[in-house]
Amino acid sequence: MLIQQPIQYLICSLSGYLKAKADMQLSLPLQNLHLTYCTNIHAGESWDEVVSSLDETIPVLRKKLELSDGQAFGIGLRLSAQAADSLIVPAKLDEFKAQLTRLGAYVFTINAFPYGPFHTVRVKEQVYLPDWRDDERLRYTRQCAHILAALLPDGMGGSISTVPGAYKTEAQTADAQNQIVGQLIAAVAMLAQLEQDTGKYIALALEPEPCCFLETLAETTAFFSQQLWATDSMARLADLCGSREAEASHLMRRHLGVCYDVCHAAVEFEDPVNALRTLTALGIRIPKIQLSCALRIPAMQADMLAELQRFDDGVYLHQVVVRNQHGLQRYTDLPAAFAAYQAGQADAEWRIHCHVPIFWDGNGQLGSTRAELLATLQALRKQGFSNHLEVETYTWDVLPAHLKNESKAHAIARELGFIMKELLT
């Protein structure tokens, strides 16, 4: 697990919910918890745009969550490559540290998944590029790691979420997979050296996603056990680190794990609690859990098509998994699923990779996978799978209007409040 933290950094203990329960004793998993939202919900690729979004949003969240001046707010920072190139400059880092002090905030996790533009333009499968076959993905991740090491409070561990290898069609060959493994070995060596140089511990977390190289729990566990943890991989890491293979094995498990996104797992019809227990039992680290809900249609019918087409925003890839009597059918995006349904091939239950607000439980015909999220939160109260939790509803700007009847900042606060209430009651 990541290093345990002082209670002043525990956002759950800083809300009005706990004030009303002053005599409640938190269980050990919750005592060391860091809860945040991911700033990829805010449009903007430049560092100046990130600065502006934080100045606009964090004071609202502090007020809505009833945080006093002495209580710190954790930030899940999304950095594009453009923003990382700006922030890595020492003067900019100093300016940001001053901003964090002014906001009463700290950074403990970075989302380094989307490298390039993530709002207003067509993103779709481009979001995975450059993938882990490419040296540029390693360079960008190295910058994010050095930035996080500079920002982490003393004694606090950090996490970085990243692309799950590559888009599935790009990682079918042995050569492509060897490239991915090689770059990840280099990333582990980099993080190990960074900890040695700075004393700051950071774990990289691959984020399984529908239609990617790492999509299901079975694919993820097989990749770790059969490729990343293979004897030749450990020998390569030992050579890079100048260590023995036993030490390399420790470093691989310490610095590389899984960012478990509850939305993605629900789209795959997987039981998130069982998955978290399986990863933990196998010794696969879970540096971060992303708390999110997918769109769900319990029984697809023709009169739902028009309503569902409102979610086909043209910006993000909305992978669809359909479960019927034949098992699971997968579609790379909504138009392909629509066509299959009209051809009589995609009836029954649909799960769609579209992040909807976690406090929204549907409107009758359309629903969400909130049941999976609630089960995850209940399990987290009993077992410390990870102490980094991040709400991630980045689709806010493209959601249908009826799901956006309040400001973005108020919706973020409402989501964080929902999570805190479920964890503490």
Decide if 214 is inside a domain.
Answer: yes
User: Chain-wide mean pLDDT for the chain?
Assistant: 92
Per-residue pLDDT reduced to its tens digit, 34-53 = 999 999 999 999 999 999 99
Decide if 37 is inside a domain.
Answer: yes
Decide if 351 is inside a domain.
Answer: no
Decide if 353 is inside a domain.
Answer: no
Could you tell me the pLDDT band of residue 10, with boundaries at 50, 70 and 90? very low
Q: Assess whether pLDDT exceeds 80 at residue 23.
A: no
Taking residues 231-240, report their average pLDDT: 97
Q: What pLDDT was estimated at residue 384?
A: 84
- The CATH code of the domain that includes 50 is 3.20.20.150
% of the chain with per-residue pLDDT over 70? 92
Decide if 225 is inside a domain.
Answer: yes
C-alpha dist (Å) from residue 214 to 114, 235, 240, 386: 16, 23, 25, 20
Residue 111 half-sphere exposure toward CB, CA atoms < 13 A: 28
Helical H segments across 71-216, by residue range: 81-87, 90-103, 135-151, 174-198
Say what the pTM is: 0.94
Q: Return d(Cα 154, Cα 157) in angstroms, integer.
A: 9
By residue range, what is the domain housing residue 222?
7-294+368-424
Q: What pLDDT was estimated at residue 27?
A: 54
DSSP per residue, 285-311: ---EEEE-EEEEESS--GGGHHHHHTT
> How many domains in the chain?
1
Decide if 324 is inside a domain.
Answer: no
Q: Return d(Cα 401, Cα 222) in angstroms, integer.
A: 41
Q: Which of 268, 288, 293 is nearest to 276 (CA)?
A: 288
Decide if 316 is inside a domain.
Answer: no
